Amino acid sequence: MKTHVFSVDNFVDESLIYPQIFEAANFLRRDELVAFPTETVYGLGANAKSTAAVEKIFQAKGRPSDNPLIVHIASIEQLHEIACEIPDLAYTLMNHFWPGPLTIVLKKKEGISEKVTAGLDTVAVRMPAHPVALALIRASGLPIAAPSANRSGRPSPTIAKHVLDDLEGKIAAIVDGGATGIGVESTVVDCTQPVPVILRPGGVTKEEMEQIVGEVRIDPGLEEKEATPKSPGMKYTHYAPQAPLIVVKGSPSFLQTLIDKQKTEGKKVGVLTTEEQRHHYNADVVLTCGRRSDLSTVAHRLYDVLRQFDETDVDLIYSESFSSEGIGAAIMNRLMKAAGQQQIVEK
């Protein structure tokens, strides 16, 4: 299969949508797969109402079929087509954070493919804050099921090249709208309960939601491997580079002792660090993913840097750890999944 690449600016004017958007939308209406940019990462889109189309997502990604997908919409009218029993709490969150990196889990209506919801009675929905994504959804006239546009387990794509590296020849098209903004996926919050529960930390923080709706809980499944994931990203190892990754919680000098030990054993070692601390390390490859003083820069660069390690010959990667406050919760969630929960703590 040839993968078409449609290049557009990431500031699509609604009054003058690019012809490429309509071409990509036609692929979606024909039940083909189209990757597109959002404000978080690139998504791999399919008609959420078509089981045949959605099955192609799992085939292209090599994604386990018990892992539910997020449905992307461009209007509240589309929301009412796919979800029901929507509580006032959910509308309050939508009013403050949509369009934006917040996915809301609601009771589903009939019409969405069972493959999207992995057999659950709920559906995860978001309205992306990216003009290209919104234009594509509107042009297609469909709710779009879209996980990240990468091979399952790999770091999520933040530029079109990442998508091509993983999925060229397996999908019909990519809409190239340049680099994404936030760099980590949306927050997923379950609003089917009286108190909202975060199933996946992401671009909207717990603290930001609590300022709007009061108490917000964290699902204990974030720390456990559940038998039935309620949200994308809860059960399986994700985001991993090719070399083993270990998160280190401790001082730079402690991390350097770990590097030195591996080097004495003949291993080539990589370090994922920040601009403030890179000078502390003597390793074979040292890559920075942003500034510790501004963790949004770390979120923005994280997946790109994990993929950069794949272009080196390191045998092992150590990553610094970060605060779990604010956007740091999403960063640490992704790092620990990329590391398969492997962590070394300085005593």
| Known binding positions for ATP | 63, 67, 148, 156, 200, 239
Q: 341 CB contacts (<8 Å, ≥6 apart)?
A: none
**Cα(132)–Cα(176) distance, integer angstroms:** 9
Q: What angle do CA 217, 220, 72 make, to 5 degrees?
A: 70
Which residues sit in the known binding site? 40, 63, 67, 72, 122, 126, 146, 148, 156, 186, 200, 239
CB distance 68 to 115 below 8 Å: no
User: Residue 229 to residues 122, 154, 304: CA-CA distances in angstroms?
Assistant: 12, 19, 26
Distances (CA, A) of 62 to 67, 195, 213, 268: 11, 34, 37, 30
Annotated binding site for L-threonine: 40, 72, 122, 126, 146, 186
Answer left, alpha or beta for residue 97, where phi above 0 means left and psi between -120 and 50 means alpha. Answer: alpha
Secondary structure (3-state) at 316:
strand
Residues across the chain: 347
